[in-house]
A and B are shown apart, each in its own frame.
Chain A
Amino acid sequence: MAKGIMAAKSDKSQWNGFSLKPRKQMPEGLWLACPACKHMLYKKTVAENMNVCPECKYHFRIDGDTRIKQLVDEDSFEQMCVELGSDDPLKFKYRGDTYKNRIRADRKKTGGIEAMLVGKAFIRGRGVMLGVMNFDFLGGSMGLVVGEKFCRAVDRAIEESLPLVVVSCSGGARMHEGVVSLGQMAKTSAALAKYDESGGLFISVLTDPTTGGVTASFAMLGDIIIAEPGALIGFAGPRTIYETIKVELPAGFQRSEFLLEHGFIDMIVPRNQLRKEITRLIDYCGK
């Protein structure tokens, strides 16, 4: 008998006794568990709370559409370069799959054509050029189309002397496009140099996660850099660092608070304050 209980205990996938802790696996549907505080949350409540956990203020990852809806004045987003797509420069193939298939699948999944949406919008009445990255599309990676869209947004911001707001959410450069996507880092940075000379204001908003080639190019070149609380921001991903140095990484490493402490971002702004904070900055610095 005792032996039986021991066996049940050692097998984690099975019955785990009368635990009062909330169960980790939840039925799909109306409820979701907060990854930070493990509270059970009603999905609708979370959505109404700007996808922030009402208990612990954990910021859930959101897709591009939701971000735009939350950030700009109702119906004011006027998208440009919608039709731009990538033509697979390397003819990339891996494990019997192709980059083209992957793009096709993600287009279906997200309903968009690429990992970035750009366009003119109004935030509390102030006109801005807005760029929003969509993590659901190939990890929000920067390929040639993302780079080009970014540059066109910068061009238009220079033309109409608008402030530029870009919400980054990306795993880095897109490896399926090889050095072409690496070149986008130089391309976007060069465009920002032009923008800088024209005297425009670039507000870079970093959200969870912003890593790799995106951080090492336009995301870190903001005149003002804002981060959402608890966002992972860094050059190398934590797993890469762990595999290189084989040392346990300190708690909170590469989170927004860590970057603020080390002086690489200007401020941490919770999601519900973002609109207000951006407007205020535009009023201070914008033309």
Chain B
Amino acid sequence: MPFSMTDIQVKLNPNQYLPFEEKVAELDRQIENLRRHAAQNGSDQSAEIRRLQRLETGELKRIYSRLTPWQIVQVARHPMRPLVTDYLELMVKDVRELHGDRCFGDDRAIITSLGQIGREKVLLVGQNKGKNTKEKIACNFGCPNPEGYRKALIKMKLAEKYRIPIVTLIDTPGAYPGVGAEERGQAQAIAANLMEMSRLKVPIISIVIGEGGSGGALGIGVADRLAMLEFSYYSVISPEGCAAILWRDGSQAKQAAHALKLTAKDLMKLGLVDAIITESLGGAHRNLHDTIYNVEQYIIKTLRDLKRTKIENLLETRYRKLRAIGNQYQKSIGVKAPRTKAAPKPSTRPKIPERVSIEAQLQKMQEITRQNDSYEFAELSEQDTNP
């Protein structure tokens, strides 16, 4: 039997079809029935099956060419969508996972691993959501804790030391909002990553493979090149969270998703994403191999480009790129009502308290030393006028 596309396509359970895929689910059911029928009485149904498959392909093309932002969010969250572990399995050779942040623990929500993509040695950093319930709980549903970010940073520094390029795969609903995470400094961990990643002396590629949830995603997402899968999203806040705040109703997530412009296409238009990687027909979860192959090819090609650049130039370009974020949307507002309360008039020079002359300072110093043998230099200038 010749090798056909359907063989490597993932079979979905009836409950894994998204609400807008009803027709596809129906066609799949019919195909399944025909197959069973053919197997039972040995009749040849292949012509009919092929016809239905063509119909299904057409239907998928139609649906997936005009997904709304909210539908894209749903695809990005699909339970069968390939996770970092799938990428490690299908894309990376000779995986050597590295554990622990040398400080508190090993966060399973972020995987750091040495490996080879194509012929290139890389450090792969990725957020993992977990396949089954047990894994999901261990991975905290893909919400990293501070130790995860610290682990990522420590491994990235290692990669910098040995000039190994870094590839990060982003797939998280957001950094974990919990008591422990706050106690261990979630904000500080992410902030430190942002600062250090902006000056790591190796090429960095970031790819959003599923959900790109806010600061949690950005915490491993400062890069020379940022790419997104076709049906992934990247947002400053989850659509539900945004709806809860601005619409005062979490169920308005659909509108929020639309307003937030969180799809790859929109972000490309805004100039925030460098590339969009195409997924297999009907989303990455329908054909893992195709999608992951595309990602692999993108990484290989981009790494080749980046490695050609001198590292100083690369850092300078990265800095310029970060600094330019949003600059095209600034505009000069006519200064009709500038804040003049605290600002001085241009003609008057700001009143700077006079520094006491050196002689006077010395004299005062001696006086003070005589009085109480202690000296605080902050007190030497003019007396503080504030209470």
Q: Which residues of A contact B (CB under 8 A)?
A: 49-50, 64-65, 68-70, 72-79, 82-90, 92-95, 107, 111-113, 117, 119, 122, 124-125, 143-145, 147-148, 151, 173-175, 177-187, 189-194, 196-197, 212-213, 215-221, 234-236, 240-241, 244-245, 247, 249-250, 253-254, 262-264, 272, 275-276, 279-280, 283
Q: Which residues of B contact A (CB under 8 A)?
A: 175, 177-179, 181-188, 190-192, 194-196, 198-199, 214-215, 218-219, 221-222, 234-237, 241-242, 245-247, 255-256, 259-262, 267, 270, 272, 318-319, 322-323, 325-327, 329-335, 337-339, 341-344, 348, 350-353, 355, 376-378, 381-382, 384-387
Name the residue of chain B whose CB is nearest to the CB of A85: B333
Q: Which 6 A-B pairs have the closest CB atoms?
A: A144-B326, A236-B177, A189-B194, A190-B198, A183-B325, A85-B333
Complex partner residue of A178 from B196, B261, B337, B348, CB under 8 angstroms: B261
Known: A178-B262, A182-B235. 7 other contacts (CB 8 A): A77-B342, A85-B331, A86-B330, A190-B323, A215-B187, A235-B186, A279-B381
Complex partner residue of A253 from B182, B215, B267, B382, CB under 8 angstroms: B182
Name the residue of chain B whose CB is nearest to the CB of A119: B343
Residues of chain B lying within 8 A (CB to CB) of residue A217: 190-191, 194
Task: Tell whether A235 pairs with B181 under 8 Å between CB atoms, given A65-B341, A186-B325, A276-B378.
Answer: yes
Give the distance in Å from the alpha carbon of A240 to the alpha carbon of B185 in the complex: 16
Of the listed residues A144, A216, A217, A264, the one surrounded by the most CB atoms of chain B closer than 10 A to its CB is A216
A177 near B195 (CB under 8 angstroms)?
no
Task: Tell whether A254 pairs with B325 under 8 Å between CB atoms, given A78-B344, A85-B330, A279-B378.
Answer: no
Task: Tell whether A187 pairs with B186 under 8 Å between CB atoms, given A82-B335, A125-B352, A275-B384.
Answer: no
Give the distance in Å from the alpha carbon of A125 to the alpha carbon of B384 in the complex: 10
Name the residue of chain A whose CB is nearest to the CB of B245: A175
Complex partner residue of A69 from B175, B187, B342, CB under 8 angstroms: B342
A145 near B330 (CB under 8 angstroms)?
yes
B332 near A84 (CB under 8 angstroms)?
yes
Give the distance in Å from the alpha carbon of A84 to the alpha carbon of B331 in the complex: 6
B235 near A179 (CB under 8 angstroms)?
yes
Task: Tell whether A175 pairs with B246 under 8 Å between CB atoms, given A90-B259, A190-B319.
Answer: yes
Task: Tell whether A216 pairs with B378 under 8 Å between CB atoms, given A77-B343, A84-B330, A111-B337.
Answer: no
* Distance from A164 Cβ to chain B, minimum over Cβ atoms (Å): 14
Of the listed residues B181, B198, B330, B342, the one surrounded by the most CB atoms of chain A closer than 10 A to its CB is B342
A235 near B175 (CB under 8 angstroms)?
yes
Task: Tell whether A193 pairs with B195 under 8 Å between CB atoms, given A49-B387, A184-B325, A216-B186.
Answer: yes
B350 near A180 (CB under 8 angstroms)?
no
A175 near B242 (CB under 8 angstroms)?
yes
The 6 listed contacts between A and B (C-beta, < 8 Å) are: A73-B353, A79-B343, A93-B259, A94-B255, A111-B337, A190-B198
* Distance from B38 Cβ to chain A, minimum over Cβ atoms (Å): 50
A124 near B353 (CB under 8 angstroms)?
yes
Residues of chain A lying within 8 A (CB to CB) of residue B385: 74
Give the distance in Å from the alpha carbon of A145 to the alpha carbon of B376 in the complex: 40
Residues of chain A lying within 8 A (CB to CB) of residue B245: 175
Task: Tell whether A218 pairs with B191 under 8 Å between CB atoms, given A75-B348, A148-B330, A253-B182.
Answer: yes
B198 near A184 (CB under 8 angstroms)?
no
Complex partner residue of A186 from B198, B261, B376, CB under 8 angstroms: B198
Give the distance in Å from the alpha carbon of A263 to the alpha carbon of B189 in the complex: 13
Task: Tell whether A90 pairs with B381 under 8 Å between CB atoms, given A68-B342, A241-B182, A250-B179.
Answer: no
Give the distance in Å from the alpha carbon of A217 to the alpha carbon of B191 in the complex: 4
Complex partner residue of B195 from A147, A190, A219, CB under 8 angstroms: A190
Name the residue of chain B whose CB is nearest to the CB of A71: B386
A75 near B351 (CB under 8 angstroms)?
yes
B194 near A76 (CB under 8 angstroms)?
no
Residues of chain B lying within 8 A (CB to CB) of residue A124: 353, 378, 381-382, 384
Name the residue of chain B whose CB is nearest to the CB of A282: B378
Task: Tell whether A182 pairs with B348 under 8 Å between CB atoms, given A144-B330, A177-B326.
Answer: no
Residues of chain B lying within 8 A (CB to CB) of residue A189: 191, 194-195, 198, 222
Residues of chain A lying within 8 A (CB to CB) of residue B191: 185, 189, 215-221
B331 near A276 (CB under 8 angstroms)?
no
Task: Tell whether A183 pairs with B332 under 8 Å between CB atoms, given A78-B350, A236-B186.
Answer: no
Complex partner residue of B387 from A78, A117, A272, CB under 8 angstroms: A272
B331 near A86 (CB under 8 angstroms)?
yes
* Distance from A61 Cβ to chain B, minimum over Cβ atoms (Å): 18
Residues of chain B lying within 8 A (CB to CB) of residue A215: 187, 191
Residues of chain B lying within 8 A (CB to CB) of residue A148: 326-327, 330
* Distance from A245 Cβ to chain B, minimum over Cβ atoms (Å): 6
Give the distance in Å from the alpha carbon of A283 to the alpha carbon of B352 in the complex: 17
* Distance from A58 Cβ to chain B, minimum over Cβ atoms (Å): 16
Residues of chain B lying within 8 A (CB to CB) of residue A197: 199
* Distance from A275 Cβ to chain B, minimum over Cβ atoms (Å): 6
A122 near B352 (CB under 8 angstroms)?
yes
Of the listed residues A64, A151, A236, A254, the one surrounded by the most CB atoms of chain B closer than 10 A to its CB is A236
